């Protein structure tokens, strides 16, 4: 879909009250056969710990052991009118790039950019410009293009013989779950909200059935598909259930998905990349149209994430022939 078609589509759906996600503006890939070759130390991954799309890249980077090859910048969970800020760093400046706002790297790549600045974004450190904010492709490329720099024992998150099945699951999960919660939360008509709501919980019911007798979504090890589902599930009760009106059930009331999510949370690389404080402060503190008071709820109780899940009884090996990240 080109820019004109996307604008027409957005206008039509907005009239129906449906929320439309902004397309990714920067889609160049970091790959040895392209303009941006893989070079350890050259690129800087910028994430928000609150953002589920950025969280994917953070998990994959950790599982594959790319910490030394790809540096990490973390923005403040609260955006102001200028966008994502590096106010968590001393002096409010990212120590790797010297930037105060991620928007500066967007303008360096495209001075005419007028869209919403999004994370994750990978910056070219020498030029301080964005190379890519294409979050679906980014995590796949970390698995397939950065293989020379993976840690010993890194899992295979996107195995070639399972890619068709992974891609199919990812497409369904993105449409009705990952993006579905947003289509519920930002719908502006009752009909649009109810349509997104029904699709979301129909998809979650299907996933309950799929995972009832298998530990992971595809194959017997963790794959990219599990990473993508996890980042929505881990935010579900904390923000989506109430803030986005996704309230047919809490995650804790869906026994299979709740056990599955706990299994992943307790797996190195998943729970240790979750920051519930950032998640709650971002969602409740930056969506004034949904939460005008800015009050951040005190709940939910997070202790349940450490309860036994018993999913290991289904078999499967989280890292296959590999090992957990250190």
Catalytic residues: 51, 182
Q: How many CB atoms neighbour CB 323 within 10 A?
A: 15
For the chain, domains (ranges, CATH) are 17-149 (3.40.30.10), 160-314 (1.20.1050.10)
Any idea what DSSP says for residue 236? I
Alpha-carbon gap, residue 206 to 177, rounded angstroms: 11
Whole-model pTM: value is: 0.95
> What pLDDT score was predicted for residue 205?
98
Run of H or E including 46 = strand 43-47
Burial code (b: 16+ CB inside 10 Å, e: under 16) for 282-297 equals bbbbebeeebeeeeee
* Under 8 Å between Cβ of 224 and 174: no
- pLDDT tens digits along 174-219: 999 999 999 999 999 999 999 999 999 999 999 999 999 999 999 9
- pLDDT tens digits along 154-169: 999 999 999 999 999 9
Residues of the chain with pLDDT under 50: 1-12
> What pLDDT score was predicted for residue 249?
98
């Amino acid at each position: 879909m080109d820019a004109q078609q996307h604008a027409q589509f957005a206008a039509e759906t907005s009239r129906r009250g449906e929320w439309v996600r902004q397309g990714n503006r920067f889609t160049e890939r970091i790959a040895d056969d392209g303009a941006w070759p893989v070079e350890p130390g050259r690129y800087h991954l910028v994430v928000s710990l609150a953002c589920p799309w950025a969280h994917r890249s953070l998990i994959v980077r950790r599982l594959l052991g790319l910490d030394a090859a790809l540096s990490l910048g973390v923005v403040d969970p609260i955006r102001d009118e200028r966008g994502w800020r590096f106010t968590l760093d001393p002096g409010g400046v990212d120590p790797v790039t010297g930037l105060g706002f991620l928007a500066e790297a967007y303008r360096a790549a495209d001075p005419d950019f007028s869209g919403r600045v999004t994370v994750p974004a990978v910056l070219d450190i020498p030029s301080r410009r964005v190379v890519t904010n294409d979050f679906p492709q980014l995590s796949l490329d970390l698995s397939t293009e950065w293989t020379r720099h993976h840690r010993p024992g890194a899992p295979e998150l996107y195995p070639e013989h399972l890619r068709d099945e992974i891609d199919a699951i990812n497409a369904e999960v993105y449409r009705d779950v990952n993006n579905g919660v947003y289509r519920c939360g930002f719908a502006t008509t009752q009909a649009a909200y109810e349509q997104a709501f029904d699709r979301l919980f129909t998809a979650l019911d299907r996933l309950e059935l799929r995972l009832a007798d298998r530990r992971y979504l595809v194959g017997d090890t963790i794959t990219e598909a599990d990473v993508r589902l996890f980042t929505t599930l881990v935010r579900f009760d904390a923000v989506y259930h109430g803030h986005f009106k996704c309230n047919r059930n809490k995650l804790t009331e869906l026994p299979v998905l709740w056990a599955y999510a706990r299994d992943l949370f307790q797996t190195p690389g998943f729970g240790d990349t979750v920051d519930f404080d950032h998640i709650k402060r971002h969602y409740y503190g930056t969506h004034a149209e949904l939460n005008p008071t800015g009050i951040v709820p005190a709940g939910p109780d997070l202790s349940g994430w450490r309860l036994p899940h018993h999913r290991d009884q289904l078999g499967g090996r989280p890292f296959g022939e590999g090992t957990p990240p250190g």
